[in-house]
Amino acid sequence: MEYEFEICKGCGLCCKIDGFVFLKDGEAEKIAEFLGMDVYSFTEEYCIIVNRKRLALKDKSSSNECIFLDENNLCKIYDVRPKQCKDFPYLWTNEELPEGCLLKNRVD
Ligand code: SF4
Ligand code: SF4
């Protein structure tokens, strides 16, 4: 299956679907520095531990939206966003892309 990657409209829906945004080694430190925080405060405020070992970003308390998605569907930490975010949808994608995502338009 292929997608027309170039037609991503930046709607932010992929930051709202269910699932974890995992952090790789060094990413928490990088984001914490970007936010002007120490890494312990950053992980306490913005992260959860999945399966007792993997660090992931929290969702907003009221929804599945990533805690860093702003009201204009922009990423507040775009310059230092995790690799998992950078790679989407080029290196991985989600079969459950939400309605409205132009990547649902598959090419033959
Ligand atoms: S949901 Fe699809 S169209 Fe919207 S920002 Fe994500 S990849 Fe782009
Ligand atoms: S870190 Fe940014 S790009 Fe990644 S899911 Fe959150 S809002 Fe989206």
Q: Which pLDDT value is given to residue 91? A: 77
Report the separation in Å between the CA atom of 39 and the middle of ligand 2, taken as the mean of its atom positions: 18
76: which 2 tokens?
A: 């507040």
Residue 7 confidence class, pLDDT cut points 50, 70, 90: low
Q: Which pLDDT value is given to residue 90? A: 73
Measured CA to CA, the distance from residue 78 to residue 61 in angstroms comes to 21
Q: Which pLDDT value is given to residue 54? A: 96
**Averaged pLDDT score across all residues of the chain:** 86
- Provide the whole-model pTM: 0.87
Q: Which residues have C-beta within 8 Å of that of residue 46, sequence separation ≥ 6? A: 31, 57, 58, 67, 68
Report the separation in Å between the CA atom of 106 and the middle of ligand 2, taken as the mean of its atom positions: 24
Closest residue (by CA) to atom 8 of ligand 1?
Answer: 8
